[in-house]
Amino acid sequence: MAIKTRFTELFGVEHPIAQGGMQWVGKAELVSAVANAGALGFLTALTQPTPEALSKEIARCREMTDKPFGVNLTILPAMTPPPYAEYRAAIIESGIKIVETAGYKPQEHVDHFKANGVKVIHKCTAVRHALSAERMGVDAISIDGFECAGHPGEDDIPGLILIPAAADKVKIPMIASGGFGDARGLVAALALGADGVNMGTRFCATKEAPIHENFKQAMVANDERATDLIFRTLHNTARVARNAISQQVVAIERAGGAKFEDVADLVKGARGREGLESGDVDHGVWTAGMVQGLIHDVPSVQELVDRIVAEAETLIRGRLAGMVG
């Protein structure tokens, strides 16, 4: 069975499940597995050190799948920003037709992608940002609740409220993100008004995810409380897996008056990447959501997607239908 929604129709995929862009994780081996399983995977542009490297990674992914996949381009304010326009050109020249944008002022990127026939999903954490992206001309929204890994914004609105609040106002297709990892979440998201779900942390705990096994086993062992919110006092909140480093950052912030320089060395991306490769879960900060409490195994991507879709069908046709007199 396939669950058909506006999301599956718009992007030409079998199942209403996306694997959003994840720094250091959104590489060809994972993304191609997601595509082959009938879901929508995204390579992460900035995981690649240069636009040329991204072009090569797109080509490598195409060798592993003939199904649709996209690229995530996250735009963040930085002292020396990456060459976003060159990454954008590499995506367009490689013939990619689906892009997930996230972050800061995406208008010029959206306009350029749309002019080249690329469909754009914009990731946001608030209804007002979703409406602004809709006005910008994006094709779909990914709405990210407070439960999510990474940046949940500063409003602290969980998915149970955020998804239907957005569905009441947003007219274009919308995928729900933050806290999704199984069939129950998928069915709930559809009931709340979304057209599919986006899973990040759950796809990290799969055989094909290109991170060390220690991190996958940590996600299985961790419960829903095993995250920390860092950068709260800097108004740039990020949810990460709780470990020795995240606890240090929280302590520095609690002491008051913390500036980014005070924690920069602890949280730098290179340090996080080294940990993901070496297997030391306390080496740097690493991103994971509350959904860790729902992760109990490390299946292949195909097994995970098949299981979610089959169990969702059973829930919809069986348990829920059986409740209606």
Same domain? For 133 and 247 the reply is no
Residue 177 has pLDDT above 80, yes or no: yes
**0.85 surpassed by pTM:** yes
Regarding whether 236 and 184 lie in a shared domain, the answer is no
CATH code where residue 118 lies = 3.20.20.70
What average pLDDT is seen over the chain? 96
pLDDT single digits (tens) 139-165: 999 999 999 999 999 999 999 999 999
CA separation for the pair 26, 34 (Å, rounded): 11
> What's the domain range around 92?
6-211+298-323
Average pLDDT over residues 75-87: 89
What are 89's two structure tokens?
A: 């050109």
Whether residue 194 lies inside any domain: the answer is yes
User: pLDDT of 223-261, one tens digit each?
Assistant: 999 999 999 999 999 999 999 999 999 999 999 989 999
Residue 292 within a domain? no
237, 161: one domain? no
Q: What is the pLDDT of residue 312?
A: 98
Instruction: Give the pLDDT mean for 168-186.
Output: 98
Q: Other C-beta atoms within 10 Å of 58: how many?
A: 22
- Please tell me the total count of domains within the chain: 2
How far apart are alpha carbons 318 and 249 in whole angstroms? 47
Residue 266 and residue 152 share a domain: no
CA 59 from chain centre, in angstroms, equals 22
CA distance 276 to 257: 30
Over residues 294-308, the pLDDT tens digits come to: 999 999 999 999 999
Dihedral angle sign, alpha carbons of residues 11, 14, 16, 22:
negative
